[in-house]
Amino acid sequence: MRQTPVTIINITSPSYTGTTWLCLLLGSHPDAFTLGPPDRVWGLRDEGFVDACRVHGKDCAFWNAFAKRYDPSKNFYIQLAEHAGRNFIVINNPTPAHTKAELTHPDIMIKPIRVVRDGRALACSYARHLKTDMYDAIRDHVAPLFKQFPLDTDRDDLLAVRYEDVLREQRTSLDRFGAFVGLKYPENALAFWTFDHHMTSGNAGTMALLKFFQGLPVNNFKDRAFYESQFERMKAGEKTFDDQRWREELGRRELYLFDRYCGSGNAAWGYEPDRFTSSERKQFEQEVRGEVPKTASSDPNGSPELVESVVELLRRIGKRRLRLAVIAVIAWVASLVVTGLIVWLLAQGG
């Protein structure tokens, strides 16, 4: 038996909740190590943990040294704690297979933390990253989450929090996390990018912040400008990681769709619903049911009201359906051209 148990801080959350940031935050303690989602590095056991570190890559001295001492017949976390010289390891969302194989050791103690985030932000991030439309993101991704991740706030064995609450009260939240897991976080823990992290999986943008600070090369990625601006704000001492892009990216129709399918679940998580006028509800319901809504004007010559309503409708119908609509229009125009060509050829022959 190990003299001091290895404490696993296990964060469970829906995808796109911001847990990479939270993992790094909770790992910013002299006795804590941030691993992140553990299954990727666990899958590298037979490959000598090559390129395990998402911060330092193949040149990571920590993981290269760990590979030389790792014994597959012994528990992964016990060995990792000894190699890192830490008693706390932060992970998030391990698979059932990993949990069964590595997290049931008698020298391991689990401290579970559950994090939820406003479902509108989850749907927006899901649609943005997977390049799908909001309807699919709302119905297929977010709607099932409310039963999978109930916000149990009255349990002693589980700490359940909202992502936005942690952002709003970062120091207070960090102290609360520390009291739950058994750590007293230093005053500079919020500046997580200044600590030595060797995270193996997670959000590339969040981990890029560590590279910015260390002067490491960062490959271009879609949201790089956003994360660079976040890093500059953090260095200036502003509150870190205030990602509220969904408020600008979601239109009224998309918000209505969310409320229609997920409003009650999101309210159970403690989030205020959006409000809609009677005319908005009528129009959006017609669109959801596939009915053609009446426009504000019947002028066929392109009145401002009609043009504006058409533009707004196109903006709201979602990327995937917009692409399909464009393809359908192109096919229709092509069919007219072919028909016209056939008629012309027949006329020439006559």
Question: 256-271, pLDDT tens digit by residue?
Answer: 999 999 999 999 999 9
Structure-token pair, residue 261: 């399918």
Instruction: In whole angstroms, give the CA distance from residue 80 to residue 66.
Output: 8
What is residue 245's predicted lDDT score, i.e. its pLDDT? 79
What does each C-alpha distance from 267 to 113, 114, 116, 201, 257 come to in angstroms?
A: 20, 17, 12, 31, 15
pLDDT at 89 over 60: yes
Flag the least confident range among 217-231, 244-258, 319-333.
Answer: 319-333
The pTM (predicted TM-score) of the whole model is: 0.79
pLDDT at 307 over 90: no
What is residue 329's predicted lDDT score, i.e. its pLDDT? 65
**Residues across the chain:** 350
What is residue 311's predicted lDDT score, i.e. its pLDDT? 42
What is residue 222's predicted lDDT score, i.e. its pLDDT? 74
Structure confidence at residue 301 as a pLDDT band (50, 70, 90)? very low
Instruction: In whole angstroms, give the CA distance from residue 92 to residue 78.
Output: 17
What is residue 350's predicted lDDT score, i.e. its pLDDT? 55
Structure-token pair, residue 49: 């943990």
Buried b (16+ CB within 10 A) or exposed e, 210-232: bbbbeeeebeeeebeeebeebbe
Structure confidence at residue 205 as a pLDDT band (50, 70, 90)? confident
